[in-house]
Structure formats: structure tokens, C-alpha cells
Structure 1
């Protein structure tokens, strides 16, 4: 096992395109760190630089106590699992698992032990004689994980390994990866565009946009205190509601006002200096709720759609020209096209600068 340190790591292509801008962070020994962001944000490029598959344009990359900027991939003591399984179709599971070890000149006894240990860990023992074509996608991805596992590397790198699986398989293999990490305690860097994967797998998460790190923190810290509007909107499903408008002091308390939009912020206590200022006010769908009778801090919204998803309901609404989503427990609601009175729970408020999108300090 080993820690991974990046100090000002950059990637600039020959055409001048900057893919990664000065990435600085440390993955602790034994940590599972997730890199997440939309397509083209630089997360896979960053992982490939750690692997040695992309040249580093600037900065320093260390694995353990060794700077590896100019070290060949095969000498970095890493193993990588790709989005495609990349299994040899003519080889059995056992032969696929053993192939890399044979290339590195390990003896037969060592190879047999490592293959059997990996197969047992990943539940592949009964499949060692199968060809990849006779296996499901989830089983093939486990073989790909096993091929990395037998290497016993200091660092595992996983580049969107679940993207080719259906939803049910993604969940089961995701669980297996989490269990594998807990069992092995190996340093892992995991790349995904899927926020659910990021939130459920990562001990910490690096959020990227356009090659720039936006925030690094634990999953719930990112969810509860996003550093900016991008992080706030990217993590969470449905996404955070954002009300843009001028903060005013009304008879019902502090309100966000912008044309037909007038949303009271419950009994929120804010910095007096914000009154009269145009801000972006974020509120998660679960912090919008049907108002109690007589609630003077409620506002009226039109129901555009109702999405029952089993244990909860997503209510799509419009207030003024503002689209909103509310997450509620199953209950009777007005029909689509009807109106509903909605209250904001102030403990769920987030305030951002309307221009920069940066978070403003706020404590209930």
C-alpha cells in the first residue's frame, strides 16, 4: 500500500488545450478516493497521469515516497481496471487472471496461490474454467478486478469500471468493490461521472469541472456544505433548487424576490448585510415541504408533475417562472395543474454569490 500525492499537476496538450489545471491533493495510504465530474472535466486524464499513461505537463506526482513523473507505468506498482473489461476472449478466467503474472516471470506456485486467493475473494472459484463469453457483465467485471488484485499493487486505479453494466449489476458490483476495499485496505482511486457511485464509495471525493478541482471532502460534507453552485447542483438527485433574487425583509420574514418570484425563507436568520443584495439561494428538494395550515411563511406553487418512486414522491412545481422540485413521503397531493402551499425549512438553506457562485458562510 502507498499514499499518492499530487502537487500542482497539470496536463496541457500540444494544441494548447488545458485538460487539468494544477491538481493538488493527497490520497492517504489505504484510502478510497473518488474523482467525479461531468464528461470532459479531466478526471480520467488525471487518473491516466497517475497510471503513467499520460505524460505530466507540470507539477509533481509521488507514489509512496517516490516521485514517479518519469517512471514507466510497469514500474509504478499500480494496477488499473478500465471501463471495458479487456479480457482475452480465448482464455479461461484462470488464464486471464494469471496472464500478467506470467509476463512478470512469477513461478507457478506463486501464480496458482494468487489466482486462487483472488478467485475466492471475488467469488470466482466456480468460474475459473469458464470463458468470458459464458459470463455475465458483472462476472466479467469481477474478473477484471481480479486481474488487478493478483498483482498485489500498492495502488488500484479504477476508470469508470461500472459504466457498461445495467443498474442492478452496477449496484451489486459497487457493493463488491466497497467490500473488497474494506477487506484489503488498499489505496484506491476511482473515477466516475455517476454521483451515486461517488457518494456511496468514496471516503473522500474530488469534484472536478473543466480541469479544475472545485472541492475535496467527505461525501456528506460535500452534500451539506457545497463550496459553490456547481458542486451544489452536481451532487444530489434531484438537484438542489436555486432561487435567484434580491433578499428583502417582508412581513413574513426574509424573502427572495425577483418579479413573480417571492419565496419566504421561513424563520431563517441571515447576515443583515445581505438584505438588498441579489443572491442565489439553494434549497435541497427534501427541505421543501407542504406547508402546515396557517403557515405565514409559505408560498404558493403550481404542480407540474408528480413522480412516485416507491418510498417517496418527487413533486415538480413552478413558482413564478422558477421550476422547483420537492421530495416528500408518499401522501395525497393536489392534482397536476393544481396549487400547493410550500414552506422552506431554513436548516436546509445555502447562500451563494450570484456572480461568482461561491458559497457564503451561513449557520442557522
Structure 2
């Protein structure tokens, strides 16, 4: 196992496109760190630079104490699992698991020991003689993981390994990967575009957009205190409600929206924070679970019900407030009829404020 350290790592392509802009962070020994962001944000490019499959334009990359900028992939002591299983169809599970070790000249006894151990951990012991065509999607993914596992590398790199699986199997494999990591304790870098995967798997998450790191933190800190509008909107399902308007103070604080006025009952201390933003454009963020039905006298706003989405253990209310669409997440209960009005209130201490121009969080 080893730490992985990036210091102002940058990737610029020959056409001038900047794939990654000065990425700096350290992955701790034994940590599972997730790189997450939309397509084209630079997460896979960053992973490929760690693997040695993509050259580094500038900056320093260390695995352990060794600078590996110019070290060949095979000499970095890493193992990578790709989105495509890439199994050899003519080989059995055992042969697929041990093939990389065979190429590295390991003794047969050593290969057999590692293959048996990987098969035990991944619950593939009964399938060692089967070929990939006879396996389910989840079993094939476990073989791909096992092929990396038998290497006993310092660092695991996983590039969207679950994206080809159906929803139920993705959930199962997420649990498998989390269990494996706890059991093995190997330093792991996991790339995904799925924010649910990121939140459930990562000990820490690096959020990227446009090749730049937007925020690095634990899943719950990212959710509770997003650094900017991008992180606020990207993490969370349904996404955070974002209301853009002018902050105004007259008999209390108000947010002046294009076709509505929203009174703000602020938490002690929030008012002092917002003093310098009076009469400025801001964005107010409210998580769907923090926007709840309320009695008319205690409500902050009145919205029109458009669509009701019951999903079993909770209900999503899609509403319209002025010309803004908002979502409330509520427990199962007697729901109002579509097109009816609903009074809603929010928890003042859970409001988020952002600079409308820069997108940065207002602290």
C-alpha cells in the first residue's frame, strides 16, 4: 500500500485543450478516494495519468516516496479495472485471474495461491472452470476485479467499473467493492459520473468540472456545505433547489425573485453574514428534504403542485413557485391534488447562500 500525491498536475493536449488544470491533493495510504464529475470533466484523464497511460504536461506525481512522472505503467505497482471487463473469452475464470501473473514470470504455486485467495474473497470458487460466456454480468465484473486483486498492487485504479451493469446489480457490486476495500485496505482511486456511487463509496470525494477541482471533502461535508453552485447542484438527488434573486432588507430579509417575493426567517448569525450582500444578486439553495409542508401562518412560500412522484419510502413533490420549479422530498402521506396550492416552510439553519456572479458559497 502507498500514498498517491499530486502537486499541480496539469494535462494540456496538442490542440491546446486543457484536460486537467493544476490538480493538487494526496490520497492517504489505504484510503478509497472517488473522482466524480460530468462527462468531460477530466476525471478519467486524471486516473490515466496516475496509471501512466496518459503523459503529464507539468506538475509532480508521487506513488509512495517515488516520483513516477516518467515511470512506465508496468513499473508503477498499480492495477487498473476498466469500464469494459476485457476478459479473454477462451480462458477460464482461473486462467483469466492468473494470466497477468503468468506474464510476469511468477511461479505456478504462487499463481495458484493468489488465484484461490482472490476467488475466495470474490466468492468465485465454484466458477473457476467456467468461461466468461457462462457468467453473469456481476460475476464478470468480479473476475475483472479479481484480475487486479491477484496482483497485490500498492494502488487500485477503477474507471467506472459498474456503468455497464443494471441498477440492481450496480447496487450489489457497490456493496461488494466497499466490502473488499474494508477487507484489503488497499489505496483505491475510483472514477464515476454517478454521484450516488460517489457518496456511498468514497471516504473522500474530489468533485471536478471543466478540468478543475471544485471541492475535496467527505461525502456528508460536501452535501452539507457545498463550496459553490456547481457542487450544490451536482450532489444530491433530487438536486438542490436554487432560487436566484436580489437580497433585500425591509422589515426583515427578503429574496426578490422575478415574479415573487420570498421572506427569509434567518438563523441567528446568518443576518450578519448577509449584511454586505444587501441589494445584491444571490442564489438561495434549499435541499428538497429541507422544504416541507407547513401551516399557512408558519409558511415561507405558497407553491402550486405540478407532479407527484411516490417512490415507496418517500415522495417527491414537483412544484412551481412564481416562474421557478422546486422540489420537496416528504415522507409517504396524504398528498394534495395536482394543480392545488401547498404552503411550505424551510429550516433556516439549513439554507445555503451563493454569490450569483462567481457561484462561490457565501460564508
TM range (shorter): over 0.9
Listed as ranges, the gaps of 5+ residues in structure 1 are none
**Aligned-partner Cα distance in 2 for 1:192–1:72:** 25
SS of the equivalent of 2:271 reads coil
Q: How many residues align?
A: 359
**Aligned-partner Cα distance in 2 for 1:200–1:232:** 17
Q: Tell me the equivalent position of 2:260.
A: 261
CA contact under 8 A between 1:265 and 1:345: conserved in structure 2?
A: no
- What is the CA distance between 1:293 and its match in structure 2? 4.3
- What is the CA distance between 1:277 and its match in structure 2? 2.0
The one-character-per-residue Cα deviations of 1:197-239 (angstroms, maximum 9, x if unpaired) are 0000000000000000000000000000000000000000000
- What is the CA distance between 1:256 and its match in structure 2? 1.0
CA contact under 8 A between 1:51 and 1:80: conserved in structure 2?
A: yes
SS of the equivalent of 2:297 reads coil
- What is the CA distance between 1:332 and its match in structure 2? 1.5
CA contact under 8 A between 2:202 and 2:219: conserved in structure 1?
A: yes
The partner residue of 1:287 within 278, 285, 290 is 290
Q: Tell me the equivalent position of 1:330.
A: 332
Q: What pairs up with 1:29-40 in 2 under 5 angstroms?
A: 29-40=29-40
Please report the TM-score for the alignment, with normalisation by the length of structure 1.
Answer: 0.97
**C-alpha root-mean-square deviation of aligned residues, in Å?**
1.0
- What is the CA distance between 1:39 and its match in structure 2? 0.2
SS of the equivalent of 1:231 reads helix
**Aligned-partner Cα distance in 2 for 1:326–1:273:** 30
Q: Tell me the equivalent position of 1:298.
A: 300
**Aligned-partner Cα distance in 2 for 1:95–1:198:** 32
Does residue 130 (structure 1) correspond to residue 139 (structure 2)? The answer is no
Does residue 58 (structure 1) correspond to residue 40 (structure 2)? The answer is no
- What is the CA distance between 1:195 and its match in structure 2? 0.2
SS of the equivalent of 1:180 reads helix
CA pair 24-267 structure 1, distance change in 2 beyond 3 A: closer
- What is the CA distance between 1:275 and its match in structure 2? 2.5
**Aligned-partner Cα distance in 2 for 1:59–1:27:** 16
SS of the equivalent of 1:164 reads coil
**Aligned-partner Cα distance in 2 for 1:294–1:226:** 31
SS of the equivalent of 1:360 reads coil
**Aligned-partner Cα distance in 2 for 1:341–1:332:** 15
The partner residue of 1:276 within 272, 276, 279 is 279
- What is the CA distance between 1:298 and its match in structure 2? 2.3
- What is the CA distance between 1:266 and its match in structure 2? 3.0
CA contact under 8 A between 1:264 and 1:344: conserved in structure 2?
A: no
**Aligned-partner Cα distance in 2 for 1:207–1:142:** 27
Does residue 93 (structure 1) correspond to residue 93 (structure 2)? The answer is yes
- What is the CA distance between 1:250 and its match in structure 2? 4.7
**Aligned-partner Cα distance in 1 for 2:156–2:313:** 36
CA contact under 8 A between 2:266 and 2:349: conserved in structure 1?
A: no
CA contact under 8 A between 2:296 and 2:343: conserved in structure 1?
A: no
Listed as ranges, the gaps of 5+ residues in structure 2 are none
